[in-house]
C-alpha cells in the first residue's frame, strides 16, 4: 500500500519551476483562471438576482462574496508562490471544486443545464493551459460526471440531446488533453534547448553581454559572474576610467558600421573586488532581437597574455641589473626627442657618463661588488631626473641621460653636479669605495634639423673623454 501511495504521489507531483519564465507563465495563467472563475461567479449572482425565487435571492450575497474572494486570490504573488513545493498541486483543487459548485448551482437554476456546459468547458480549458494531460483528463472526468448527475431530475432532456452534449464535452476534454500534451512536449524541448545553451554558456571561456547603444547592459550570460564576480548594469561603470572613452567610441562605431562586421577591442574591466583585468572584447552589432540589445559582446580574459607581453616589452627595453632603460629604449626616446626638436619644440641635452675606477673595484672586490656600484650609481643618477627625463645604461659602466629643455649652460651645470656626486663614497662588497664620474655633454637647439642621434652621441662621447683626461666635466 505504501509503494502504491508513493507512485501515486510521484505521478501527482509537477516538475519544479526552474526559471523566471516558467514562474511568470504560471502566474499569468493562474490569474486568467481566477478571473474566469470570477466571471462565472458574477454571472451566477446575476442569475440569482434576476430569476430565482424571492426566498432564495439572499444567495446572491454569498455568491458575490465568493467572487470578491476569488478576485483577491488573483492578486497574490503567484510568481513567487508557484516555486514552493505543493502549491501548484493544491491549486488543481480550485478547479475541481468549481465543478461541484457549478453543478449545485445548475440544479437549482431554471436554466442550469445551459449554464453548466459552457462553465465546465471554460474551467477545463483554463486548467489545460497549466496542467499535464492526466490532470486535464481527471478534471474532464469530474465534469462529465457532473453533467451525468445533472440529467437526473424530474424533467430530463431527450436521450439524443444528452448523448450529443456528453460526446461534445468528451471531445473538448480530449482536445484539451491533447493540447496540454503538445504544450508540455514543447516545454520539454524548450527546457532541453535552454539547458544545453546554459551549459555551453556557463562553461564557455568567454563571457557574453548584450549592450544597448548608450551602454546599458540588457543581458549577461552566466559566465559573466565567473569572470567579473557580478553582473554589471552599464558598460561605463564596468570599464576602467582610462578606457571609458575608448570603449564608448568603439561601441558606437561597431553599431553604426554599415556592414555590421565583428570588431575587436582591448580594455580593462573592473572586478567585484575593485581590481581590474584586461579583456579582449569581440563585438557584433545585431538588430534581430531588440530585447538583447544593439550589440553582443564576447569578453575573453587576456590578462595573462597582457602581463606576458608587458614583461617581454619590459625585458626588451630595460636593463636587467639596474632597472633603467637599455640602449634600445634610449635610442627610441632619442629619436622621438629629435623629431620634436625639428618641429620647433625646446632643445635637449645629452649627458654621457662613464665611471672612473670601476675596473679596479670590479677586479679587487669581485663582480658582485661591481654590480652593487652600478646599482647604487643608477639610484644616485635617478635622483637628478625630472619627470619626462630619460636615464639609461648603455652597457658596462656607461650611462646616458637625455634632458629636454636644457641648453649648454644648464647641461654644464648638471654635469658638474654629477661629477661632484661621484666623489661621494658608496657601499660595495662590505666596504666604502669611491667611484668618480666623467661626464660629457652635447646639446641640440630648437629647430635644428641637421643634428642626428648618432652625431649627438659622438659629440657627447668626445666631450666625455676630454673630461676623463682633465678629470672634470666636459661640454
Mean pLDDT value of segment 156-170: 76
Query: Which of 25-34, 194-203, 236-245, 283-292 shows the lowest mean pLDDT across its residues?
Result: 194-203
By 3-state DSSP, what share of the chain in percent is helix, strand and coil, each rounded to 5? 60, 15, 25
Domain positions in the chain: 2-196, 207-307, 318-470
- Provide the edge-to-edge strand list for the sheet that holds 207-211: 217-220, 207-211, 295-301, 276-285, 263-270
Q: What is the pLDDT of residue 311?
A: 75
What pLDDT digit, counting tens, does each position of 315-324 carry? Answer: 778 899 999 9
Mean pLDDT value of segment 225-241: 81
CATH class of 207-307: alpha beta
Reported as a pLDDT band with limits 50, 70 and 90, residue 443 is very high
Give the mean pLDDT of the chain.
Answer: 83
Place of cell 481566477: 34
pTM of the predicted model, to two decimals? 0.47
Mean pLDDT value of segment 382-396: 91
Q: What is the pLDDT of residue 108?
A: 82
Mean pLDDT value of segment 357-366: 88
Q: Is 417 helix (H, G, I), strand (E, B) or coil?
A: helix
What pLDDT digit, counting tens, does each position of 8-49 carry? Answer: 344 446 777 767 778 888 888 888 888 888 888 888 888 888
Is the Cα dihedral 77, 79, 83, 89 positive or negative? Answer: positive
What pLDDT digit, counting tens, does each position of 187-208 carry? Answer: 777 777 767 766 665 666 678 8
Mean pLDDT value of segment 350-368: 90
C-alpha cell, 2: 505504501
Reported as a pLDDT band with limits 50, 70 and 90, residue 221 is confident
Name the CATH topology of 318-470.
Alpha-Beta Plaits (3.30.70)
306 φ/ψ sector (left φ>0, alpha ψ -120 to 50, else beta): alpha
Q: Where are the alpha helices (DSSP H) in 131-279?
A: 133-150, 159-203, 223-228, 235-238, 244-256
Q: What is the pLDDT of residue 475?
A: 42
Residue 186: is it exposed, middle or buried by C-beta count within 10 angstroms (0-12/13-18/19+)?
Answer: exposed
269, β-bridge pairs: 239, 277
Amino acid at each position: 500500500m505504501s509503494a502504491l501511495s508513493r507512485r501515486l504521489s510521484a505521478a501527482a507531483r509537477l516538475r519544479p519551476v526552474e526559471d523566471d519564465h516558467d514562474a511568470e507563465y504560471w502566474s499569468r495563467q493562474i490569474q486568467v483562471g481566477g478571473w474566469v472563475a470570477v466571471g462565472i461567479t458574477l454571472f451566477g449572482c446575476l442569475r440569482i438576482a434576476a430569476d430565482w425565487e424571492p426566498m432564495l435571492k439572499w444567495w446572491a450575497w454569498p455568491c458575490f462574496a465568493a467572487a470578491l474572494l476569488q478576485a483577491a486570490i488573483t492578486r497574490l504573488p503567484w510568481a513567487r508562490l508557484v516555486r514552493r513545493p505543493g502549491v501548484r498541486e493544491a491549486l488543481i483543487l480550485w478547479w475541481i471544486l468549481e465543478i461541484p459548485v457549478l453543478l449545485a448551482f445548475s440544479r437549482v437554476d431554471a436554466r442550469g443545464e445551459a449554464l453548466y456546459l459552457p462553465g465546465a468547458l471554460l474551467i477545463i480549458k483554463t486548467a489545460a493551459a497549466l496542467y499535464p494531460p492526466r490532470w486535464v483528463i481527471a478534471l474532464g472526468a469530474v465534469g462529465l460526471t457532473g453533467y451525468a448527475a445533472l440529467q437526473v431530475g424530474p424533467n430530463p432532456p431527450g436521450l439524443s440531446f444528452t448523448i450529443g452534449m456528453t460526446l461534445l464535452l468528451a471531445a473538448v476534454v480530449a482536445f484539451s488533453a491533447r493540447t496540454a500534451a503538445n504544450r508540455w512536449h514543447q516545454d520539454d524541448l524548450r527546457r532541453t534547448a535552454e539547458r544545453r545553451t546554459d551549459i555551453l554558456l556557463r562553461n564557455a571561456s568567454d563571457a557574453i553581454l548584450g549592450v544597448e547603444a548608450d551602454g546599458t547592459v540588457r543581458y549577461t550570460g552566466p559566465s559573466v559572474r565567473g569572470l567579473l564576480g557580478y553582473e554589471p548594469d552599464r558598460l561605463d561603470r564596468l570599464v576602467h576610467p582610462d578606457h571609458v572613452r575608448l570603449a564608448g567610441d568603439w561601441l558606437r562605431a561597431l553599431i553604426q558600421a554599415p556592414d555590421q562586421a565583428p570588431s575587436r577591442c582591448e580594455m580593462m574591466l573592473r572586478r567585484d573586488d575593485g581590481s581590474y583585468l584586461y579583456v579582449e572584447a569581440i563585438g557584433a552589432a545585431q538588430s534581430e532581437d531588440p530585447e538583447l540589445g544593439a550589440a553582443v559582446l564576447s569578453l575573453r580574459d587576456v590578462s595573462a597574455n597582457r602581463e606576458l607581453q608587458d614583461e617581454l616589452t619590459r625585458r626588451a627595453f630595460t636593463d636587467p641589473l639596474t632597472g633603467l632603460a637599455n640602449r634600445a629604449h634610449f635610442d627610441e626616446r632619442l629619436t622621438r626627442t629629435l623629431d620634436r626638436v625639428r618641429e620647433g619644440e625646446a632643445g635637449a641635452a645629452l649627458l654621457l657618463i662613464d665611471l672612473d675606477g670601476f675596473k679596479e673595484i670590479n677586479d679587487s672586490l669581485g663582480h658582485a661588488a661591481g654590480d652593487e656600484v652600478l646599482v647604487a650609481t643608477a639610484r644616485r643618477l635617478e635622483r637628478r631626473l625630472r619627470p619626462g627625463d630619460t636615464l639609461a645604461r648603455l652597457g658596462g659602466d656607461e650611462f646616458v641621460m637625455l634632458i629636454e629643455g636644457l641648453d649648454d649652460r644648464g647641461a654644464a651645470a648638471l654635469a658638474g653636479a654629477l661629477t661632484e656626486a661621484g666623489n661621494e663614497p658608496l657601499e660595495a662588497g662590505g666596504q666604502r669605495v669611491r667611484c668618480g664620474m666623467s661626464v660629457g655633454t652635447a646639446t641640440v637647439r630648437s629647430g635644428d634639423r641637421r643634428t642626428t642621434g648618432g652625431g649627438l652621441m659622438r659629440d657627447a662621447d668626445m666631450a666625455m673623454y676630454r673630461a676623463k683626461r682633465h678629470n672634470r666635466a666636459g661640454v
